[in-house]
Amino acid sequence: MATGGSQGKAAGYYQYPASYAAADEERRWWPWLVPTVLVACIAVFAAEMFVNDCLRHGSALGGGAGCVAAGLLRRFSFQPLRENPLFGPSSATLEKMGALNWAKVVHGHQGWRLISCIWLHAGLVHLVVNMLSLLFIGIRLEQQFGFVRIGVIYLISGFGGSVLSALFLRRNYISVGASGALFGLLGSMLSELIMNWTIYSNKAAAIITLLFIIAINMAIGILPHADNFAHIGGFASGFLLGFVLLARPQFGWMERSELPQTNQPPKYKLYQYVLWVAALLLLVVG
């Protein structure tokens, strides 16, 4: 790696001089897109519980099933755990607020549900797991690649997860959650890891983190109103988009003149990435 001054490459990752590290701390900008998405999802969940109003509408189970934490939360209390083990609203409330429903999308021409469902969550457990995962991986990705690219991946992956989910959903089943969009970020993180392999100083930690978050969210996917088809669709969308949008970290908080210089050619050509994506699509379709 050709460098100027004391800059060099060591132990398989890019190393910057001390002056760059100091400038990095001063110029690092706090990501705003990921925190905004987090606040929006929390606000939407609060709206879900407000509309749900378990004390007034009761439970679909009947039989005197009581609302959870009714004395403390009042109107915002949760449905009985036998109805919703994730501490959340009823299925009727989720459907009313825009949950993904195959019949309504196909026969009711309510295509907007493919987007609205990614802002809803089935319960408090679902929300907390998704938002912690989003913060854990989204902040780093937004810092490295900017809010535009990460925002595009998040929305398109969420849409892709909704489409695959709608294709495999049972007709009387509904689905909600940002998991498809979140898995899109995980998929893009994997493709970015593959392309920028030499930049990572601790590759094992990056892979373990990725697998750990995937495992937790796949486990959540077997619970009511969260489905793993959305996870798979979102992951595939994000993985493919990552090869296009995350080819190299942009170091947006640093001046362009301070970016490390290198005479090494790219490891792969653009057409090779295109061929990989085309091959993967053929495998999926086939």
| 188 is an active site residue | no
CA-nearest of 89, 92, 70 to 79 is: 89
CB of 48 within 8 A of CB of 88?
yes
CA–CA separation, 271 and 188 (whole Å): 19
Catalytic residue among 91, 162, 179, 237: 179
CA distances from 217 to 59, 223, 228 (A): 27, 10, 9
Contacts 24+ apart (CB under 8 A), 217-221: 217/129, 217/130, 217/133, 217/179, 217/182, 217/183, 220/125, 220/126, 220/129, 220/130, 220/179, 221/179
Catalytic residue among 165, 188, 231, 237: 231
Residue holding tokens 């983190």? 209
229 φ/ψ sector (left φ>0, alpha ψ -120 to 50, else beta): alpha
CA–CA separation, 14 and 33 (whole Å): 27
CA–CA separation, 32 and 283 (whole Å): 37
CA–CA separation, 249 and 226 (whole Å): 32
| 225 is an active site residue | no
Copy the structure tokens of residue 217.
């969210």
CB of 62 within 8 A of CB of 94?
no
Residue holding tokens 């990705």? 141
**Residues catalogued as catalytic:** 179, 231
